[in-house]
Amino acid sequence: MAEFNHGIELRELTDRYLPKHGSNLGFKPSVFVGSLVLMLQGGGRSLEDVRELRYEEELMKLIDIEKIPDPFFYVVRDI
């Protein structure tokens, strides 16, 4: 599934069209969207399942993501 996401340029599209985080300490939009999509494609059913991606070291290297946001960061907040 990571190949499919790469093929449709999911990372580039999300970084181009979704708003960036307000500080330089946040994650790019593509990290949020990409990790959610991978989690759902892998059979995840809740935000807590995003944590499982951290154990997929080879996949994280392949898609060039060093760090996955904690599920806490997916909660919509007033900015």
The total domain count for the chain is 1
Q: What does 3-62 look like in DSSP terms, one character per residue?
A: HHHHHTTHHHHHHHHSPPPSSTTS--HHHHHHHHHHHHHTT--SGGGGGGGGG-HHHHHH
The answer to whether residue 50 is domain-embedded is yes
Are the CB atoms for 63 and 2 separated by under 8 Å?
yes
The answer to whether residue 79 is domain-embedded is no
Tens-digit pLDDT profile for residues 34-79: 888 988 988 999 888 988 888 888 888 888 888 888 887 777 655 5
* pTM for the predicted model, two decimal places: 0.75
Q: How far apart are CA 44 and CA 41, in angstroms?
A: 7
pLDDT surpassing 80 at residue 13? yes
The answer to whether residue 19 is domain-embedded is no
Provide the residue range defining the domain that includes 63: 2-11+27-74
> Can you give the pLDDT at residue 19?
84
Q: pLDDT band at residue 16, thresholds of 50, 70 and 90?
A: very high
Structure-token pair, residue 46: 């809740």
